[in-house]
Amino acid sequence: MSSSKAVVGVPADRRIVGIHPFHMVGEKYLRAIIDGANALPLVVPVLADDIEIDAVLSQVDGIFFTGSPSDIEPHRYDGEPSAPETLHDAHRDELTLPMARRALERGVPVLAVCRGFQELNVALGGSLHQKVHEVPGYHMHKENPDDDIEVQYGPSHEVNLVAGGLLHAMAGAESVMVNSLHGQGVARLADSVTVEAVADDGLVEAFRVDDTQGFNLALQWHPEWRVTENEFSMAIFKAFGDACVQRAAKRKV
């Protein structure tokens, strides 16, 4: 694949529309790669039996694990069975969990948000609360579906940025306000990661994976939403895009 821009692989969701399965990615994620990371997004179908992960990683300069309406299947982290009517995406789980591990091993730049944040935690051995708001000590982190979309994606709560961390340096502040649209959250944090941000109720909201060669950052909130209107979100995507450009230069030598 030839391009003047870095190429970012974006694993899809598999959803049934009518009677047919589709592999799709929300436009807000694609726009954030184009406008925030200044890169070219490449949608990766989640056909684990037919997609060779190393072949994909050899053709891209970064991987963006996005959010999704679906939850990771709880057997992936030895969790209790899901509540009835929970939306899952076994096809995405089957591809993204091993892809996350392999991308980190190969030093491919990785950015993960919301479900992607949870995928990195699970891929590395962590576990999840399926309903954070039902766990004593945590407040509601999920949006009200009856609210206007501007309210749903508007500032919801504060996160404290760990001093000396990557996000602390990007924000130039000890805390920032973020949106919050997730029902699940970290229960057991994976080993060998460094916490970057914690919600006001103590829930882990961002981390980096230690001892990897490439850029990586996992965020529970949605920085992709109207990315160009938020300086902090732009800094996140620019850092990811810059890392992808550096990988592209090495990959094309």
Catalytic residue among 73, 141, 224, 244: 224
Active site residue 222: yes
Are 193 and 210 in contact by the 8 Å Cβ rule? The answer is: yes
Pairing of strands 216-219, 110-113: parallel
Distance CA 134, CA 97 (A): 26
| Three-state secondary structure string covering the chain | CCCCCCEEEEECEEEEECCEEEEECCHHHHHHHHHHCCCEEEEECCCCCCCCHHHHHHHCCEEEECCCCCECCHHHHCCCCCCCCCCECHHHHHHHHHHHHHHHHHCCCEEEECHHHHHHHHHCCCEEECCHHHCCCCCCCCCCCCCCHHHHCCCCEEEEECCCCHHHHHHCCCEEEECCCCCCEEEECCCCEEEEEEECCCCEEEEEECCCCCCEEEECCCCCCCHHHCHHHHHHHHHHHHHHHHHHHHHCC
Are 12 and 70 in contact by the 8 Å Cβ rule? The answer is: no
Active site residue 224: yes
Catalytic residue among 129, 141, 168, 222: 222
Catalytic residue among 73, 91, 94, 114: 114
Q: How many CB atoms lie within 10 A of CB 88?
A: 14
Which residues are the active-site residues?
Answer: 114, 222, 224
